Structure 1
Amino acid sequence: MSRLDGYIARTVMLSILAVLMVILGLDVISAIVDQLGELEGGYQFGNMLEYVLWTLPERIYSQLGFSALVGCMVGLGTLASTSELTVMRASGISIGRIAWAVMKPVLVLIVLGLVLAELVIPMTNQEANSRKAIAKGELEAVGLEQGLWLQDDGEFVHFNAALPGGTLFGITRYRFDENHQLQKVVFSERGHFASGHWELQNSRQTTLTPERADSSIEARSVWDSDISPDLFAMVVPLPSDLSPRNLWSYAQFLDRKGEESGRYWLAFWKKVLQPLTIAGLVMMAISFIFGPLREVTTGLRVFMGVIVGIVFQTVQDMLGPSSVVFGFPPLIAVIVPILASFLLGWLMLKRAR
């Protein structure tokens, strides 16, 4: 029986990987075409390819559920087309046993997704965005819509780009007095964290008084701050760049501050419940093969898999923003499509028996 389980698992896994490679290839081509319009200055074709490569983990992660759905339909459909599933059923092997054999390779995808979300994507996305900003020359002072803002010891600090490991670019520090009057502005081209403090390079300082403004330049200086490199794993522009652990921490922080945290909770529940999402889609795929798609062609199975995946993603994409706009819990927006997929799959499997 273990040999049969291994055969089913291997067939399904190869189909999932094939589908994932095709979808990922199309996604990469689309990303390259999109980035071509941004080529300018120091951001050339080689930099663009580097940016796309750094974002590959997130692209893989976002396609795991869709690939599992279509891949399972193709793999099981192949077994059905060659009457192997019929022979298995005639030999007394239950649908539940076959479904469990299918779920085994899916567990590998689930573990891969958890590792990517928690450990890999936060680092690679930050690296990609920072390298892109550096290549485009965004190292001088920029507007409020770019970079990262933090408050530190009475100063408002802005960073144009941050690389993992403790390297900052374009550091601008604003200090105000008790009357909210600007006292000092310091811009540093680059900073590196070492020995518990930041070592700054090429700093330009402007001190403002009621009578005049004094300016000075320092090639190297030291900045003592409580801001650590670890903080940049959390303070990023997009919730999708955060790990589930940091999403939880940052959403709770926003709740304590009384600020809007809905989109961070939404991203958190999407990542935490992704294993259930994949399992629900796979259950639907199994139910289709033992139900209405048992005798159809592989092309029709792929088409139906794509349609089901698009419908599932569309429903989740509609409910997610709706939870933020209308104020109902993001958990409901994420879990309703998952429960619907499990229920539909269970009903169809029950009917197939």
Structure 2
Amino acid sequence: MRILDRYIGRTVIASSLTMLLALVSIFSFFKFLDELENVGQGRYGIPQVIEYIALSTPYLAYQLFPMAALVGALLGLGVLVKNSEITAMRAAGVSLPRIVAAVLKASLLLMLLAVIIGEFIAPVTEEEARTGRSIAMADQITLKSRYGFWSRDGSSYINIRRILPGDQIESIYIYEFDQSHRLRTSTYARRATYQEGRWLLEDIQQSIIGDESVTRREAGKAAWDSLLRPELLNIVLIRPESLSLWGLVKYIDYLQANGQRSLPYEQALWVKLVYPLATVVMVLLAVPMVLGRGREVKLGQRVMIGALVGLLFHIFNQASGQIGILYDLSPVLSAAGPTLLTLAAALLLLRRVH
């Protein structure tokens, strides 16, 4: 039976990985075409587009894993059916549950690969891709460090410690230098909001440095004309997809401790926990689709049906998360709902086949 498990597993895994490569190539190609519209903005050229697409590939692969697993399992099992190998196994006394168990073992290996990509590779490369793209398009000298975001604006250097959604920033330090590169003004603002093409600073403390003395001023509000655009600050916003599982847990605790909305990150946390299981569920769904009454269905038709089902699952899964955030629904329900419904459908179809 070990030989049988390895044979079925090798067939399912090989076809699934082949399909994953094909899907990633197709989606990356269309993403490349879409990015061509942004060529010419700042320093964003063809080399930067290629780098962005390459760095985005792991996250794209992670997103497409369930679809690739379904279509790949349909393809692999379909070949076994076409070659009458499944029939020979059944005739030799191998039960349907035994075949399903072999398929599930293979799906667990695929799930493990999805976890490795989604937890250790995709967060790093996706953050690098997004940061590089934003900086190239903005064409400004910028730097991210443990002390926040740094940018040069003419003769001024800006340090922003916290970036908030809605074009808001907190703890802003502005250092202005003269032509001799001597510090002349140091300004601190507790908060700033981007309104009507300019920044509005709040709770301002300013030090004007003369040759022999330092003058300190305070103000409640003041307009700040800067070339620094909110679009550039998006590179510092912590996005759910750029965090690992443990990173999400820590960031949720941080947001809740500071009284900020954490639902999008709670949603992302549960998606991280549930999404790899979708790979197992989709492989399980492939079994009754191949071994059921539709055995006479051609292999190409099965692949098309599998691709359609996988695409619908992908869209439904994305929509469920957005709806959950929009209407403040339970993140557990929003994240697990599509996978649980698909699992129920797979078990129902398996029961009919059995």
TM-score range, shorter chain: 0.7 to 0.9
**TM-score (norm. length: structure 1):** 0.75
Change (3 A) 1:138 1:263: same
Q: Say whether residues 1:185 and 2:186 are aligned partners.
A: no
Say whether the 8 Å CA contact 2:43–2:139 is kept in structure 1: no
Say whether the 8 Å CA contact 1:204–1:215 is kept in structure 2: no
Deviation at 1:91, TM superposition (A): 1.3
Change (3 A) 1:2 1:331: same
Say whether the 8 Å CA contact 1:185–1:205 is kept in structure 2: no
Letter in 1 for 2:45: Q
Deviation at 1:264, TM superposition (A): 0.9
Change (3 A) 1:205 1:132: farther
* Other structure's SS at 1:173 match: strand
Q: Say whether residues 1:343 and 2:320 are aligned partners.
A: no
Within 5 Å, which residues of 2 pair with 1:1-353?
Answer: 1-40=1-40, 41-136=42-137, 138-140=139-141, 158-159=149-150, 172-173=158-159, 185-186=174-175, 206-207=185-186, 213-214=208-209, 236-353=237-354
Change (3 A) 1:253 1:3: same
Say whether the 8 Å CA contact 2:291–2:353 is kept in structure 1: yes
CA distance, structure 1, for counterparts of residue 115 and residue 210 of structure 2: 50
CA distance, structure 2, for counterparts of residue 136 and residue 261 of structure 1: 29
Change (3 A) 1:253 1:14: same
Letter in 1 for 2:174: V
Q: Which runs of 4+ in 1 moved over 4 A?
A: 147-150, 202-205, 208-216
Letter in 1 for 2:9: A
Say whether the 8 Å CA contact 2:8–2:103 is kept in structure 1: yes
**TM-score (norm. length: structure 2):** 0.75
Change (3 A) 1:212 1:185: closer
CA distance, structure 2, for counterparts of residue 205 and residue 126 of structure 1: 36
Backbone CA RMSD of aligned residues: 3.3
Q: Deviations over 1:97-144 (max 9, x none)?
A: 111222233222211221122221222122222333443453348xxx
CA distance, structure 2, for counterparts of residue 50 and residue 174 of structure 1: 27
Deviation at 1:34, TM superposition (A): 1.5
Say whether the 8 Å CA contact 1:183–1:207 is kept in structure 2: no
Letter in 2 for 1:276: L
Q: Which runs of 5+ in 2 are unaligned?
A: 162-170, 188-203, 212-234
CA distance, structure 1, for counterparts of residue 296 and residue 144 of structure 2: 55
Q: Deviations over 1:247-301 (max 9, x none)?
A: 1211222222222111111111111112221111111111211214322101110
* Other structure's SS at 1:293 match: helix
Letter in 1 for 2:175: V
Letter in 2 for 1:99: V
Change (3 A) 1:11 1:138: same
Q: How many residues were matched structurally?
A: 299
Letter in 2 for 1:31: K
2:168: which partner in 1?
none
Letter in 2 for 1:332: L
Query: More deviation in 126-135 or 74-83?
Result: 126-135
Q: Which runs of 5+ in 1 are unaligned?
A: 142-146, 162-169, 176-181, 189-201, 217-233
